[in-house]
């Protein structure tokens, strides 16, 4: 009898669990102008793809779309690399994929650190038990390439990591000659272009880059969720000759390469690609192909000048002093003395515009203004700086009133 009662009680308590109230309401997504470090706004031609019906991930039409994406990625990375595809995951998955394939126990890893992303690469390598050496620059500066060449010659690493555009500082690290030094000393050259691809010059083959990864949510204006990546023949040779198998199945470059049709072999099931995000990437690459990759880079450069001029007009200063080292698609701005960056960013957000504060060591010191893809536009940029200046003045006024009356 007691057992029956207990059973009934359990049944009652199980069936009486109410669904979360929040999920009975419609989702709220306010319009927002995304001028932070990413994601950026989606272009209409890309947003439209998100309501298209799904295809099976091995259907011939989807295989064709994957093929188009590979061609588009070779175009924007400027490479002939066969192993050029997109990892299912955000920018971090590109970093993890590159590192788990290109490093193995006993290897030495040289990290060029100009901000948070070098630290992140070093952290990942530490987790993998890999010996790491860092060569760093003070925040807001780049590491001179001569110092990098010297470090490669002395340390003789197996892999060298450089972040081309560090979104925590707004610095664009020069890459020229690093690839040559890597070849001379038997190292592979790995570049993070998550925040820079399409917004500043990059030529994987001319720079002798062995692996480069990026992300979809910055200059490409697509939703986050894929990490474009490309491996040189040297990199693939190293992966094929590893003493140990790659510890990750999901990020195994040879398996992924087969799934994306890079090796000319019969395609095997690896995972289910995020179909809609692949559509979005195809549309993003189509938009860049129509504009031209060099034209896109030039537009970002021209509009960075518009941004610098607007900042100057409003008495604001870029954080990166040397203009040649500024990342054209992401500008860091010094927070004026006595101003709370958060109050200002909060005021902008209530006006529907996002800019971000610093990241890692730059928190509190800077704002970060991303002008990626369609947001690299003269009028939009001038409006954002106008609103930034207005928000700063309002914050100043509020501080003054507070001081005066209380």
Cβ closest to ligand PMP, residue 109 vs residue 117: 117
Residue 153 in tokens: 């010659």
Is 353 one of the binding residues for ligand PMP (CB under 6 A)? no
Give the shortest CB-160-to-ligand PMP separation in angstroms.
16
Backbone phi, psi, residue 118, to 5° = -70, -40
DSSP string, 374-399: GG--HHHHHHHHHHHHHHHHHHHHHH
- Taken in order 176, 177, 183, 187, the sign of the CA dihedral is negative
Binding window for ligand PMP (CB under 6 A); candidates: 98-106, 144-152, 161-169, 198-206? 161-169
Contact between 290 and 92 under an 8 Å Cβ cutoff? The reply is no
Is 92 one of the binding residues for ligand PMP (CB under 6 A)? yes
Please provide the distance, in angstroms rounded to a whole number, between the alpha carbons at the two ends of the chain: 71
Cβ closest to ligand PMP, residue 173 vs residue 303: 173
Is 224 one of the binding residues for ligand PMP (CB under 6 A)? yes
Cβ closest to ligand PMP, residue 130 vs residue 195: 195
Interface of this chain with ligand PMP, residues 111 to 130, rule: CB under 6 A = 117
Is 91 one of the binding residues for ligand PMP (CB under 6 A)? yes
Gap between the Cα atoms of 40 and 220, Å rounded: 8
Gap between the Cα atoms of 269 and 259, Å rounded: 6
Contact between 231 and 211 under an 8 Å Cβ cutoff? The reply is yes
Is 381 one of the binding residues for ligand PMP (CB under 6 A)? no
Give the shortest CB-161-to-ligand PMP separation in angstroms.
11
Which of 36, 37, 179, 357 lies at the binding interface for ligand PMP (CB under 6 A)?
37
Q: Which residues pair with 86 in a beta bridge?
A: 228
Binding mask 243-282 for ligand PMP (x = CB under 6 A): ----------------------------------------
Residue 66 Rama label (left phi>0; alpha psi -120 to 50; beta):
alpha
Is 90 one of the binding residues for ligand PMP (CB under 6 A)? yes
Residue 220 in tokens: 């490409």
Cβ closest to ligand PMP, residue 91 vs residue 318: 91
Gap between the Cα atoms of 60 and 257, Å rounded: 17
Is 192 one of the binding residues for ligand PMP (CB under 6 A)? yes
User: Kind and range of the H or E element at 135?
Assistant: strand 131-136
Is 96 one of the binding residues for ligand PMP (CB under 6 A)? no
Which of 98, 130, 194, 288 lies at the binding interface for ligand PMP (CB under 6 A)?
194
- Number of residues that this document lists for the chain: 406
Give the shortest CB-310-to-ligand PMP separation in angstroms.
23
Give the shortest CB-91-to-ligand PMP separation in angstroms.
2
Give the shortest CB-202-to-ligand PMP separation in angstroms.
13
Q: Which residue of the chain is nearest ligand PMP when measured via CB?
A: 91
Contact between 160 and 190 under an 8 Å Cβ cutoff? The reply is yes
Residue 368, annotated as binding a ligand: yes
Binding window for ligand PMP (CB under 6 A); candidates: 53-61, 179-187, 191-199, 250-258? 191-199
Is 372 one of the binding residues for ligand PMP (CB under 6 A)? no
DSSP string, 283-346: HHHHHHHHH-HHHHHHHHHHHHHHHHHHHHHTT--BS--SGGGB-TTEEEEEPPTT--HHHHHH
Cβ closest to ligand PMP, residue 103 vs residue 310: 103
Gap between the Cα atoms of 257 and 255, Å rounded: 5
Binding window for ligand PMP (CB under 6 A); candidates: 21-29, 86-94, 125-133, 297-305? 86-94
Gap between the Cα atoms of 76 and 87, Å rounded: 16
Which residues contribute to the annotated binding site? 368
Q: Which residues of this protein are in contact with ligand PMP, per CB under 6 A?
A: 37-38, 90-92, 117, 163, 166-167, 192, 194-195, 215, 224
């Amino acid at each position: 009898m007691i057992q029956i009662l207990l059973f009934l009680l359990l049944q009652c308590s199980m069936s009486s669990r109410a669904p979360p109230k929040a999920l009975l309401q419609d989702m709220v997504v306010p319009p927002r102008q995304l001028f932070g470090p990413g994601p950026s706004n989606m272009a209409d031609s890309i947003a439209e793809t998100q309501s298209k019906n799904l295809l099976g991930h091995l259907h011939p039409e989807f295989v064709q779309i994957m093929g188009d994406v590979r061609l588009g990625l070779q175009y924007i990375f400027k490479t002939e690399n066969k192993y050029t595809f997109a990892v299912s995951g955000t920018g971090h998955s590109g970093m993890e994929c590159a590192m788990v394939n290109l490093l193995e126990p006993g290897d030495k890893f040289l990290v060029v650190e100009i901000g948070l992303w070098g630290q992140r690469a070093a952290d990942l390598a530490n987790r993998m038990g890999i010996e790491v050496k860092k060569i760093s620059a003070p925040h807001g500066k780049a590491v001179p390439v001569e110092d990098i060449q010297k470090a490669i010659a002395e340390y003789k690493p197996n892999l060298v990591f450089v972040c081309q555009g560090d979104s925590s500082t707004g610095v664009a690290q020069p890459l020229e000659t690093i690839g040559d030094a890597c070849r001379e000393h038997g190292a592979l050259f790995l570049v993070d272009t998550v925040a820079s691809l399409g917004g500043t010059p990059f030529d994987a083959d001319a720079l002798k880059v062995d692996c480069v990864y990026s992300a979809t949510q910055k200059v490409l204006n697509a939703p986050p969720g894929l990490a474009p990546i490309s491996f040189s023949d040297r990199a693939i040779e190293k992966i094929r000759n590893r003493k140990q198998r790659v510890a990750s199945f999901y990020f195994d470059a040879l398996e992924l390469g087969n799934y994306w049709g890079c090796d000319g072999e019969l395609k095997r099931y690896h995972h289910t690609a995020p179909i809609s995000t692949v559509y979005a990437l195809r549309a993003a690459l189509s938009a860049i192909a129509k504009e031209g990759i060099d034209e896109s880079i030039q537009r970002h450069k021209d509009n960075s000048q518009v941004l610098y001029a607007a900042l100057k007009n409003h008495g604001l200063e870029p954080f990166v002093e040397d203009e040649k080292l500024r990342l054209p698609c992401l500008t860091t701005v010094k927070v004026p003395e006595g101003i709370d960056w958060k109050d200002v960013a909060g005021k902008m957000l209530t006006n529907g515009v996002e800019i971000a504060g610093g990241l890692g060591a730059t928190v509190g010191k800077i704002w970060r203004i991303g002008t990626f893809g369609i947001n690299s536009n003269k009028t939009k940029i001038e409006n954002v700086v106008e609103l930034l200046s207005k928000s700063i003045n309002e914050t100043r006024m509020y501080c003054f009133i507070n001081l005066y009356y209380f």
